[in-house]
Amino acid sequence: MSAALRHAWERRASAVVVAGSAYASAAVGLAERLGITVLVADGDPAALALALAAEIGAALSVVDAELARVARTIAKDTTLGDVLKTISGELDGAGVLLEYDGVVVTSAGMPPRETDEVITVEVDGANSAVRFTLTARVPTSGVHNLRLVGSILEVATPAVKAAWLSEDLLSTARAVPTAAIAALDQDPDASGEEFEEKHRHLLNQLGWREGEPYMSLWFRSAPVQEHRPELTAVLRLLWRKVAVRSPLAEVQGGWLTLVPAGDQDASTQLETRIRTRLGPALAELGLVAGLSRWQEDVPALALIVREARLAAESARSAGPGTVLSFASLGVVAATTFVDVDAVALVAELALPRLMASPDRDVIITSVAAFLDHRGSVSLAAKSLNLHRNTLQARLNRARELGVPLDVPSELLSVHLIAKVLRRSMPEETTSEDPMENQK
């Protein structure tokens, strides 16, 4: 018995057949530790073992034949969407997901449920930094053999890999005109109509039609750092959820795409789709997005690219996942490019009494509201839910602390300082005044 177990363990066998007899508990314990099933035969153990091996081999050959059929079926598909649909169909409609770093980039089949069994295999290219995960979610109450499901996913990974590599290659080729626009925009001698006039022949060759309305979208990393190279492939898959026909180009500083927008409703719908379909994924990937405005008088391509890039820059301060349109910014975008630390240092040096005052936050909030409302005490007090006299007293206090509220040429700088300092305050600093409470 012990010799048979050692022999089986060396050959990674799952079971041994031995002649019927009384076996010591030590031999039974050894079988349990090795994870080997012991079958006791009344007759010839060799004959029974051969018969079982034949049965198991026949069953495995059926499984192998089925896996080969699945592989041939999936290999006929040329797009990633079709590949996933075929895999899902082979699993009776089970949900099949392609994920990157926890973000679902594309899927097919039934939506995932919390009670599903989850089977996962890795999909990666040779010497590639991209690490996709192919996941199947099958109902717990179903009849699926989970090991077979895993085998189906494994034989499907070459087709999945080939499909996304092929689509990424095609997307790269289709994105050449978009990338060219971003490169031409670096020309300091051309702007607006001058840009299109100077590059008209090249733009026509690239397929851009004069007078056709577009909106520009710019993705970039929220923190100030170089983006990961593999994000291009991931973003292109995600972008398909919004606009399949508009290729995404990797450009200096991020990713750019130009989307046809015939009217303002189309531009509004585009922004909504980006927020709902990409917002959570962008947050997970540490990215933001900036959109250009829709304009009835079609602007030059270079201008909408610049608007989207500025909007993306402005979105960075709001954190990952932010989708911001230049239409909601306008001139406010200028504050994005202010050196916040430098402004705070100016406040410390130029307004030392204000910065040292215990009621500083309340005073700064009041000054900011006052300037936000064009110097109207009544409107500012209403916005802060304060009595007009209370706000007036705080503004007088600001003057006592050296804030130049009565010098028109300095109001812009005061407003900027107040805006910058408010960013570092608690969420609510309006009606409560520590100096008044002490009274």
**Buried (b) or exposed (e) across 39-78, using 16+ Cβ within 10 A?**
eeeeeebeebbeeeeeeeeeeeeeeeeebeebeeebeebe
> What pLDDT score does 45 carry?
75
Residue 183 has pLDDT above 60, yes or no: yes
**Residues 137, 119: one domain?**
yes
Q: How far apart are CA 289 and CA 309, in angstroms?
A: 9
Q: Region 258-265: what's the mean pLDDT? A: 84
Interval 203-237: pLDDT, tens: 777 777 777 888 899 999 887 666 677 788 899 99
**Residues 197, 317: one domain?**
yes
Domain that holds residue 353: 340-438
Interval 340-366: pLDDT, tens: 788 888 889 899 999 999 999 999 999
CA-nearest of 358, 372, 366, 368 to 389 is 366
Q: Region 238-247: what's the mean pLDDT? A: 89
102 Ramachandran zone, left/alpha/beta (phi>0; psi -120 to 50) = left
Q: How far apart are CA 348 and CA 436, in angstroms?
A: 24
Q: Where a domain ends, among 293, 322, 337?
A: 337
Q: Where a domain ends, among 305, 321, 337?
A: 337
Q: pLDDT category, 238, cuts 50, 70, 90?
A: very high
Instruction: Kindly report the pTM of this predicted structure.
Output: 0.68
**Residues 344, 292: one domain?**
no
Q: How far apart are CA 316 and CA 318, in angstroms?
A: 5
Interval 87-137: pLDDT, tens: 998 888 889 999 988 889 899 988 877 778 888 998 875 545 667 899 998
**Residues 182, 326: one domain?**
yes
Residue 17 has pLDDT above 90, yes or no: no
> What pLDDT score does 428 carry?
52
Residue 323: which CATH number?
3.30.70
**Residues 181, 319: one domain?**
yes
Two structure tokens written together for 227: 């983006």
Q: Where a domain ends, among 109, 142, 167?
A: 167
Q: How far apart are CA 280 and CA 213, in angstroms?
A: 28
Angle, helices 360-372 vs 411-423, to 10°: value is 130
Lowest mean pLDDT among 234-238, 350-354, 413-417, 431-435: 431-435
> What pLDDT score does 383 carry?
92
**Residues 207, 312: one domain?**
yes
**Residues 253, 155: one domain?**
no
Two structure tokens written together for 432: 């409560």
**What is the number of other CB atoms lying within 10 angstroms of the CB of residue 124?**
13
> What pLDDT score does 432 carry?
46
**Residues 39, 93: one domain?**
no
List, in sequence order, every residue forming a beta bridge with 138; answer none if it has no partner: 117
**Residues 123, 89: one domain?**
yes
Residue 431 has pLDDT above 80, yes or no: no
Q: How far apart are CA 344 and CA 359, in angstroms?
A: 17
**Residues 149, 268: one domain?**
no
Q: pLDDT category, 430, cuts 50, 70, 90?
A: very low
Spell out the residues 6+ positions from residue 50 whose beta carbon is closer than 8 angstroms to its own: none
Interval 29-83: pLDDT, tens: 887 788 888 877 777 777 777 777 766 665 556 667 788 888 889 988 888 999 9
Q: Region 282-309: what's the mean pLDDT? A: 87
Q: How many domains does the chain have?
A: 4
**Residues 309, 333: one domain?**
yes
**Residues 17, 97: one domain?**
no
Mean pLDDT rounded to a whole number for the chain: 82
Percent of the chain with pLDDT over 70: 87
* Contact (Cβ atoms closer than 8 angstroms) between residue 99 and residue 107: no
